[in-house]
Amino acid sequence: MSNIQLSNEENYYIVKRDEINDVLKLPIKSYLQSSYDFKKISVLKNEPNFVMLIAGWCVQTSTLMQIKKPIDQFVKKDIFTMLTGYWSILSFEELIKAFELERFGLYKEKTEHYQLFDCNYISQVLKKYQQWKRENKMELKIEPLKNEIKMSDAEKQKIMIAAVNKKYSEYLTTNEIEEPFNHIFKELIEIGRIKMPTPETPKLEMYYQNKLTEAHAQVLREYGMKKSIDAIERNKIKEIMNALINNTENQDAKSKIEVRAKKLVLIDFFNSQKQKGLTKIIE
């Protein structure tokens, strides 16, 4: 999210991916136990913007897999048909996890993509993920939890409303937004209080691009002042700095700019509510 132009699909995917990052970072046992509660593609496919989500996933994932050839639109359609059919038993979290395991070399064998991100390649990786999941569930003796008391949607919504209003209240007091705030940004988008750009909203698209540029400048300035006595950390800072200066691909730099851009958008939104004299975002 620096000066690299991202499509609306990619931006939407990135927002959704950030929402589940904590789940993806769980230890294997906790992740697999949580997987019973993941919303499957068979359900997700009926939700708004699902096509955008999968389109963004295709582009971002193929990039991470070092596939340089763009994905043909007919191939994207074929992938969508496959994922909403045979592979609809999986979840969005599992699509990301499957290819993360492939990138990190955690399967027994690597799958050659031959510079093609298509149904055949995707299926090969997902089959390995299914095998990995089965083997680890058996080894760790993981089964669905019984008699688990689940929080109702109304209770979850009540907690989220309180979280949004609390974050806004903190901003009114300190004029600052402290992490974590991704869940706040997500909720405000989902309820329509913060709008995401579309092809029909060029002014909003320009606004978000300006925020990305501002975020890039802020992160670059901050990293220019960073120092560390640890050699590994110094090398990481140097890599991020080089990516920021030269606008080259670096996931750490990209992620930091994305998070900062969200913060800037959130600050603008809170300021607009403050100017209206509101003490709460959601009643």
Q: Is 42 exposed, middle or buried (0-12, 13-18, 19+ CB in 10 A)?
A: middle
Render pLDDT for 12-41 as a digit per residue (tens, 0 to 9): 899 999 999 889 999 999 999 999 989 999
* Sequential DSSP letters for 70-104: PPPHHHHHHHHHHHTTGGGGSBHHHHHHHHHHHHT
Bridge partners (DSSP) listed for residue 40 = 91
Residue partners of 65: CB distance under 8 A and separation at least 6: 99, 102, 103, 113, 117
- What own/partner pairs with CB < 8 Å and gap ≥ 24 does 187-191 have? 187/160, 187/163, 188/164, 188/266, 188/269, 188/281, 189/15, 191/282
Q: What is the pLDDT of residue 88?
A: 93
> Residues of the chain with pLDDT > 90: what percent?
57
How confident is the model over 96-112, as a mean pLDDT? Answer: 92
Q: Do 76 and 114 form a contact (C-beta atoms < 8 A)? A: no
Paired tokens of 175: 């004029």
How confident is the model over 89-96, as a mean pLDDT? Answer: 94
How confident is the model over 214-220, as a mean pLDDT? Answer: 92
Q: What is the pLDDT of residue 148?
A: 54
- In three-state secondary structure terms, 40 is strand
Backbone phi, then psi, for 40, in 5-degree steps?
-75, 160
Q: What is the pLDDT of residue 149?
A: 59
* Sequential DSSP letters for 125-185: HHHHHHHHHHHHHHHHT--PPSS--PPPHHHHHHHHHHHHHHHHHHHHHHS--PSP-HHHH
Place of tokens 């979290």: 93
Render pLDDT for 240-273 as a digit per residue (tens, 0 to 9): 888 888 888 888 888 889 999 999 999 999 999 9
* Sequential DSSP letters for 245-261: HHT---HHHHHHHHHHH
Q: What is the pLDDT of residue 210?
A: 95
Average pLDDT, the chain: 88
Domain boundaries, given as residue ranges, for the chain: 8-140, 156-275
Q: What is the pLDDT of residue 1?
A: 40
Q: Is 66 left (phi over 0), alpha (psi -120 to 50) or beta?
A: left
How confident is the model over 65-92, as a mean pLDDT? Answer: 91
